Amino acid sequence: MGNLPHFQLFIDGAWSEGATSQVMTSANPATGQGWATFSCAAPEDVDRAVAAAKRALDDPQWRDMTATARGKLLYRLADLVAENAARLGEFETTDSGKLLVETSAQTGYVADYYRYFAGLADKVEGTVLPIDKPDMHVFTTREPIGVVAAIVPWNAQMFLTATKLGPALAAGCTVVLKASEIAPAPMLEFARLIEQAGFPAGVVSVITGDAENCAIPLTRHPDLDRIAFTGGPETARHVVRNSAENFAVTSLELGGKSPILVFEDADLDGAANGLIAGNFGASGQSCVAGTRGLVQRSVLQDLIGRIKEKAGAIVLGDPLEAGTHVGPLCTMAQVNKIEETLAKSAEQGAVVHFGGQPADRPGNYMNPTLVECISPETETLKVEMFGPVMSLLPFDTEEEAIALANSTVFGLGSGVFTQNLARAHRVSKRIKSGICWVNTYRAISPIAPFGGFNQSGYGREAGVEAILDYTRTKTIWISTSQEPMANPFVMR
Q: Which residues of 161-178 are buried (b: 16+ CB within 10 A; e: fewer)?
A: bbbbbbbbbbbbbbbbbb
User: What is the chain's alpha carbon radius of gyration, rounded to the nearest angstrom?
Assistant: 24
**Nearest of 4, 158, 6 to residue 96 by alpha carbon:** 158
User: Which residue, 87, 76, 85, 79, is CA-closest to 198?
Assistant: 76
Q: Which residues, including other chains, have CB under 8 Å from residue 489's CB and lie 6 or more apart? A: none
Instruction: Return d(Cα 70, Cα 162) in angstroms, integer.
Output: 15
What angle is formed at CA 332 by the lines to CA 329 and CA 337, rounded to 5 degrees? 95
* DSSP per position, 303-372: HHHHHHHHHTTPPB--TTSTT-SB---S-HHHHHHHHHHHHHHHHTT-EEEE--SB-SSSSS-B--EEEE
Edge-to-edge strands, sheet with 369-372: 351-354, 369-372, 389-395, 292-296, 259-262, 415-417, 437-438
Give dist(CA 112, CA 399) in Å, integer.
39
Of 173, 214, 287, 436, which one is the catalytic site residue? 287
Q: Cα–chain-centroid distance for residue 66?
A: 29
Distance CA 44, CA 280 (A): 41
Single-letter amino acid, residue 160: L
Quick one: which H or E segment has residue 472?
Answer: strand 471-479
Q: Any bridge partners for residue 371, and if so which?
A: 352, 391
**287 annotated active-site:** yes
**Catalytic residue, candidates 253, 372, 384, 461:** 253
Q: Identify which of 78, 120, 141 has the alpha carbon closest to the alpha carbon of residue 463.
A: 120
Active site residue 465: no
Q: Which of 49, 29, 30, 118 is nearest to 81 (CA)?
A: 118
The span from the CA of 159 to the CA of 152, in Å, is: 9
Active-site annotation, residues: 253, 287
